[in-house]
Structure 1
Amino acid sequence: MPAGHAYGRHPSAGSVIEQVANVSALRPWSPGRGLSLSLSRSEGMPMPTEVALLESRALRVEQMGRVDALDKVKSLAMLPDGIHVRTEDVARYFEVSTEVVKKVIQRHRAEMEENGLRLLRGSDLRVFNRDMMSLLGEGQGESYPQAPAQLTLFTRRTVLNVAMLLRDSDIARCVRTYLLDAEHDLRAGYASLEHRVTRVESCLSGVGSALQELGPVLNRMSLRLDSLDRRLEVTQQVIGSMSVRLGGVSQDIVGLDGRMDGFARNLKDLNRRNRSR
């Protein structure tokens, strides 16, 4: 493995053969179908393999947004605009010859053009070279190599496309491995989230049944509270009637007090008369 790798794990030939055997055991092979999926033993979910990534354009399309995988494996030298890369820079990144990169372009040009591959000639090339020179600036002691007739430009997306097509490069293999590992981690995260959502749903189901059982209890409590309200209303009426009667009793007591005072005076008068005799 080259020393420039930042991400050094990649599947061995034995593991790829084992994955091929697993898929063959699951579905009978038919011409034109190719190898597309194997089952992840950890999750029981369909997982793409490196071989599938090399052969399936649909799987490559799904991974095209993961351009960060390039710098995770190895630093990619860009042109001064920070957007484009030349053929020789791509070959240097993957540690292969430029002819190998050109053969990949020839076999998959339509796909790579969809992912940013450009071929500049004539005035377009002159404008691009002028822009690169202006970005480099004057007095920096750097020179920008200019193609005399044409220039093939790659974007990060195009370089990632090459990584998923280039078979004989350890760097490309590491990029594919990084993509597949990230896909596995993502699916594992989805599985964990689905499990947690299932647990929440089961808890909500228990809450629903508890609420259903609580409904009749609340209904009975409501009836009892209504009955208590009626009894309180009757009690208030009784208390009001008693208050009226107590008002009359109070007046009677006042009259009785007056009569008792008169009776007391009469007794005093009677006592004085008895003493005078």
Structure 2
Amino acid sequence: MKRKIIQIDEAKCNGCGKCIPNCPEGALQLIDGKARLVSDLFCDGLGACIGECPLGAIQVVEREAEPYDERKVMENIIRQGPNTIKAHLKHLKEHGEFKLLETAVNCLREQNLPVPDLREAGKLPCGCPGTLARRLAPRPAANSAPAAASPSALRQWPVQLKLLNPAAEYFDDADLLISADCVAHAFGGFHRELLDGKILVVFCPKLDNSTEEYVEKLAEIFRRHRIRSITVARMEVPCCGGTVTIVEQAMERAGLKIPLSVRIVGIGGDLLS
């Protein structure tokens, strides 16, 4: 099956091992001085290890992999004791993996083990930068011009990829802006600096459960129309990298090479690249 799973760049990995403690599932080990993914079965693809890699050697990709097996993972988790059990369950809860969480809790109950209380607040044990709660300082407005002075640059409707019709005529000879959901909320210059003159496509690579559908729908758009260029806008958090991956896979499936550029927006609202 095709699913999200981590990928390690061996050229970047220096074997520091900082990713290992953040993978209680047991998918990572240090072998021959490098971090290695030792089992597809144990990797949930949620990227807990990414936030601890100082060299950016780990990313989440989508590829053919064995299905993640929560029961096999729990066999390993339980052996590591109560703190590891709690960290694993909090990891699942904070990422919204409630079906996996239910399976994990059932495994504990079957063995008459206590179920940890997950109601406490605080930093996520997985260290996932994309879900870490933080308060951002407000910035002063650049000027006091009325809202009417900044018109919308939107040229079509709808914008969500699930709702788009691949045959829509506005895709003809279009420059596309394919954006992760959060970009427009984080970047104040979204309409002026990114969207102006482009047709907009929006989706979330982390929370949407339609990755294969998205690849095929984008590929169909690329096949049906002459697309002049694609700009991908994503957030800086690692899990948002799937936006680029989905677009690249769609071009490959369509058998086309379309000029592609990537713009990255920081959590603080700055355009980083």
* TM-score bucket (shorter structure): under 0.3
Q: Which structure shows the higher helix fraction?
A: 1
Q: Which structure shows the higher strand fraction?
A: 2
- TM-score scaled by structure 1? 0.19
- TM-score scaled by structure 2? 0.20
Relative contact order: is structure 1 or structure 2 higher (C-alpha 8 Å, sep ≥ 6)? 1
